[in-house]
Structure 1
Amino acid sequence: MAASALVLGAGMVGVSVALHLRRRGMDVVLLDRQGPGEGASFGNGGLLQREAVHPHPFPRDWSELWRIAGNRAVDATYHPVALPGLALPLLRYWWHSEPARYARIAEAYAKLIATCLDEHLALARGTPAAALLRPIGWMRLFSTPQRLEAALALAEAARRDHGVGYRALDGAALAAAEPHLQVARAGALHWTDPLSVSDPHALTLEYAARFTEAGGSLARGDATTLTRHGAGWRVQAQQGGVEAAQVVVALGAAAGQVTRRLGYAPPLFGKRGYHRHFRLRGNAVLHRPILDTESGFLLAPMQAGIRLTTGAEFARDAAPPTPVQLARAEPLARRLLPLGEAVEASPWMGVRPCTPDMLPIIGPLPGQPGAWCAFGHAHQGLTLGPTTGRLLAEMMTGETPFLDPAPYRAERFN
């Protein structure tokens, strides 16, 4: 069992960890109660966000806080009954968003983001996954020249400090780039580096196929059955007990359900998100993903149709879906683009796993030799899966990590 590992969670992060471990010669079982990529990796904007060098801070402007408190926005909403349980992690999130603290966090975050395209391409190159990665970037649309200019100033700083690529479009250039927009905008910021994924679920499945082709094993089972077994670990799968010397918890928002039983209770909290696909009317097309800054929704061309996504919803873990943000966004999106009928009968919902300091948890699980963490990636699990997979695999196999893992260590929350 010395060179064996269990990876719990088959989202983009877990699949990437499993693939990197298998390529380093370990015997790996990847376990999930669902198929690969059927959790939060299934639903997102489909962007590998090389430009996202700054994580999402907690709003500190009073007018912005007041807008969100009204609970009528597209980009953020909440269930009032959930707020008492979220008060402490949200307070810590606000504390870490103080400008000086945030600057240090963003420095560590940017080092992960800077690697994301290279790490994805290293897994996808020469495989069917490469066809899913479109080098088209994405656009933020602005209604006023003033807001566009402010965004361009921040983009220029990102280019200067982190090598991020962008271009500015005025209203005429935007209309030429996306001729089927039905509403005029002052212009757009086009982030040129990101890759747009035409089917995020298919991308996760492709990486999972590389894992099984390399000799890795997939299993269905309940990660909460994890127990110590001698010097190693055991979990119950449909085909029986599975044992390994090491275990990786890559369960996203559900990670705490396993780690708390092992003495580690990180202050994770979930941001729920929704999406739904729509057909376009007539011969209309959308060439690249667009985010309407004024309204707070993203429209992305996917294989299944135009995916409409929302921001964050804060709710209790077991609360049923309440896609009110999609209901608010859809009429606005229809004014912007000639959307036709919905593809699915009902919206999809998933939960993004967030930490108060906006950094993922990557590294040894405190007090549990042979146990490792790979969760807490918030909005960037799709983007950072392969980076996390490589970094953790190098740590687990005794290689020199290609990035300093210290900022992402689990002990920072103990």
Structure 2
Amino acid sequence: MRGSVLVLGAGMVGVSVALHLQRRGRDVVLVDRQGPGEGASFGNGGLIQREAVFPHPFPRRMSEILRVARNRSVDVAYHPAALPGFASPLLRYWWQSAPDRYAHAAAAHARLIATCLDEHLALAQGTEAMALLRPIGWMRLYSQAAQMEEAIAQADQARRQHGVNFAVLDGRALAEAEPHLLVRREGAIHWTDPLSVSDPQALTLAYAALFTQAGGAVALGDATTLERSGSGWRVTTQQGVVEAAEVVIALGAAAVTLTRRLGYAPPLFGKRGYHMHYGLRGNATLNRPILDTQSGFLLAPMRAGIRLTTGAEFAPTEAPPTPVQLARAEPVARELLPLAGRVDAAPWMGVRPCMPDMLPVIGRLPGQGGAWCAFGHAHQGLTLGPTTGRLLADMMTSEVPFLPPDPYRPERFR
């Protein structure tokens, strides 16, 4: 088992960890109950978000809290019976969003985000993955002048502090950039750095193909079968029992189910989200992803059609899908763009793994030799997968980490 690693979870984060460890000489087996990229990495807005240097804080304005509490909005929905289970992590999220603590989280988050384009391109360059990465950025639309001025001020701060690039479009420039919009808006901020991914699962599969082509193994198996095997670990897969010296838990929102058994129970909570693809009528086009602030959802042009991605739903992970946000969003989306019929037979649903302090968990699993964590990336798993893979691989192979790892250490929740 010497030098071998089990990576549990084959989303963008797990695949990236496996690939980086392999390139450092480790013998890696990637294990998931599904194929690569079939969890939360399948359903998202398809953006490598270089501009996302400021994580989403818990709302501080009472008007915003009351709006969400009414449970009728497009961007946030909740199951009332599920709220007691979310009370503790959401209270911690609110506490961590106080200005001084938020500033600390934002600084650590920005250090990860700053490298995301370089890390993706380092994996994709010279491979079929490059065709999936479109340097078109995305636009956020505003209907009120005051709201847009506030957003421009924050964008200026991101540019000064973190080198983020953007362009401001007035209503006329927005109409020229997206001529098939059916509404008029005050203007937009075009974030020009991000890469737009035409098929997020295909990108994860392309990175997984780099891993397998170099001799890596992918196995279907249940991560909950993980147990000690001497000084190492073993897990049961369809190909049989697989043993390794070390294990990486990269299971997204399901990670705490396993880590709790190993004595580590961080306050991880899941936000469910949905998407649906649509055609466009006639010769209409959407040139880049757009998020209409007034509406609260993203529309992105992808291989499968125009993807409508909803906001957050707070519900038990195991509860049946309740795509009420999609039902609320679709009529509004049809007022924004000349959408044709639905492409998918049913809405996709997935769960995004969130931490109250808005930072992922990357590092040694406390109290368990040879076990490591890589989860809790919230809405930025696609963006931060390669960055996390490189950082954790540096730590596991005793190299000097290319970023200071301390803010993301699992021990912060002990």
Settle same-fold status: TM greater than 0.5.
Answer: yes
RMSD value over aligned CA atoms?
0.5
Match in the other structure for 2:296: 296
3-state secondary structure, aligned to 1:328: helix
Seq. identity, % = 76
Gaps of 5+ in 2: none
Cα distance in structure 2, aligned partners of 1:413 and 1:281: 51
Cα distance in structure 2, aligned partners of 1:297 and 1:356: 22
Cα distance in structure 1, aligned partners of 2:406 and 2:124: 28
Q: Structure 1 residue runs of 4+, over 3 Å off?
A: none
Query: 1:150 Cα shift?
Result: 1.1
One-letter amino acid matched to 1:253: A
One-letter amino acid matched to 2:367: G
Query: 1:147 Cα shift?
Result: 1.2
Match in the other structure for 1:362: 362
Query: 1:222 Cα shift?
Result: 0.4
Match in the other structure for 2:233: 233
3-state secondary structure, aligned to 1:215: coil
Match in the other structure for 1:40: 40
3-state secondary structure, aligned to 2:222: strand
3-state secondary structure, aligned to 1:275: strand
Cα distance in structure 1, aligned partners of 2:257 and 2:67: 33
Cα distance in structure 2, aligned partners of 1:213 and 1:23: 12
The aligned runs of 1:369-408 (5 Å cut-off) are 369-408=369-408
Cα distance in structure 2, aligned partners of 1:161 and 1:278: 38
Cα distance in structure 2, aligned partners of 1:284 and 1:145: 28
Equivalent pair of 2:234/2:242 in contact (CA under 8 Å): yes
3-state secondary structure, aligned to 1:42: coil
TM-score (norm 1): 1.00
Cα distance in structure 2, aligned partners of 1:262 and 1:336: 49
Query: 1:146 Cα shift?
Result: 1.5
Cα distance in structure 1, aligned partners of 2:394 and 2:162: 25
3-state secondary structure, aligned to 1:40: coil
Match in the other structure for 2:190: 190
Match in the other structure for 1:167: 167
Cα distance in structure 2, aligned partners of 1:268 and 1:69: 22
For the pair 1:80 / 2:80, whether they are aligned, the reply is yes
Query: 1:218 Cα shift?
Result: 0.3
Cα distance in structure 1, aligned partners of 2:412 and 2:3: 28
Match in the other structure for 2:63: 63
One-letter amino acid matched to 1:183: V
Equivalent pair of 2:272/2:317 in contact (CA under 8 Å): no
One-letter amino acid matched to 2:388: T
One-letter amino acid matched to 1:64: E
Number of aligned residue pairs? 414
One-letter amino acid matched to 2:170: D
The aligned runs of 1:167-316 (5 Å cut-off) are 167-316=167-316
Cα distance in structure 2, aligned partners of 1:257 and 1:147: 41
Cα distance in structure 2, aligned partners of 1:72 and 1:129: 39
One-letter amino acid matched to 2:284: A
Match in the other structure for 1:20: 20
Match in the other structure for 2:133: 133
Cα distance in structure 1, aligned partners of 2:319 and 2:326: 17
Query: 1:318 Cα shift?
Result: 1.1
Cα distance in structure 1, aligned partners of 2:326 and 2:292: 14
